Amino acid sequence: MEPRLTDQVPAGAGLPETPPRILLADDDPVALMLLTRQLKRAGYDVESVTDGTAALQKVRERFYPLLVTDWEMPGLDGVSLCRAVRSMQLEGYVYILLLTARDSKDHIITGLEAGADDYLTKPVHEAELVARLNTGRRILNLEQSLRGAIQENRWLSITDSLTGAFNRRYLMEQLPREIDRCCRYRRALTVITCDIDFFKRVNDSHGHSVGDVILNLFADRIRKLTRTTTDWIARYGGEEFVIVLPETGFEGGMQAAEKFRAAIESTPFASSAGELRITASFGVAAFDAPDPAGAFGIDALMRQSDECLYRAKQSGRNRVEGVRLSAAPLLSTSVA
C-alpha cells in the first residue's frame, strides 16, 4: 500500500545515511569556530572559509550539497554568493542556509529571493541549526531521488527492453550527432548494420521465447567485443542491429565486423531448446577523414550500410560487405 502524506514519519526519516559535506562561510573567526564545532558534533564534514569570494571559488572546485553562509562579509556578501551559486551549472542542488543578524521581513525576503532556501538569525542556536539542516538534507534526498527517477526514465526511453541495447529512437537521435562530430573534426566513423541469418527459422522451430533468448545473447556477445567508452549498439528492428564505432575508419570497421561475425559463428548459443548455432551478416559503411563539405546525412549513411548488408545476404550470408565513403568513388569490399 502506498503511504499516505498524513502518516506519521519518525524523526530523521528520509535523511541520507551519511550527512553531506557543508561549506561554511563567515568572516567572524569566533562565529566560524563555534559553528564548525556545532556542525562537526552533528556529524557533518565541514570546510570553512572567511569570505564569499573564497566560498564561490570552493564551489567552482568541488560540489557541496549544503552551503551555510553569513550575510555580512567583506567583498562578496552572502546574498551575492547566493545569486552566484544559483547561476552556476552544478552536478546537483545546493541547499543554502543564510545566517543574518537582520530579522526584518524585507531583509528576509531579499535573502530568499537571492536564492537562499532558509535563514537563521544570529546568534545561532545549535539545536535549531541542526534541525534546519536536517530539513535541508530531506530536500536534498528528495531532489536526488527525483533526479534518479528522471535518469531511469530517460534510460528506459532510449533502450530496448529485451536486449539492453539502445533502441531505434536513440539511434536516430544520436547517430546524426556522431556524423556531425566526425565531419566537423574530420574524424573517422564506422556504422555496421547486422542481421541474424535465418532468424525466422529459430522462431518457427523453437518458439518466440527461444528467439528472444537468442536476440539477447546475440546483442550481449557483440557488446562484449566493443569499446565501452566509445562504441555503442542499437536494435534497429526485429533481428537487425546497428553498431556505431566512432574513431574507427574503413579498415578498422571491416576488421571489427569480421571479429563480430566470427564470434557469432564460432560458439553456439545456449537456450532451452539446446545449443543453437547462429550466423549473421554484416554491412559496413565508414568514413576515414570526411570532407565537411561533402558530409553524408544519417539517411544516406544508413542506406549505404543497408545496401552492404543486402549484398552480404545475397552473396550467401555469414559474411561482411563494406563500403568506404569519401569524395572519391565508393570502394566496396567483401569478406567471406
Catalytic residues: 239
- DSSP for 44-112 reads -EEEEESSHHHHHHHHHHS--SEEEEES--SSS-HHHHHHHHHTS--SS--EEEEEES--SHHHHHHHH
| Dihedrals phi, psi of 183, to nearest 5 degrees | -75, -40
Cα 199 to Cα 189: distance, rounded to the nearest angstrom: 29
Q: Which residues contact 327 (CB under 8 A, 6 or more apart)?
A: 291, 294
Cα 152 to Cα 77: distance, rounded to the nearest angstrom: 39
Cα 207 to Cα 201: distance, rounded to the nearest angstrom: 9
Question: Does residue 80 contact residue 52 with C-beta atoms inside 8 Å?
Answer: yes
Cα 296 to Cα 287: distance, rounded to the nearest angstrom: 9
Q: Which residues contact 203 (CB under 8 A, 6 or more apart)?
A: 210, 211
Question: Does residue 96 contact residue 135 with C-beta atoms inside 8 Å?
Answer: no
Cα 258 to Cα 243: distance, rounded to the nearest angstrom: 13
| Dihedrals phi, psi of 124, to nearest 5 degrees | -85, 130
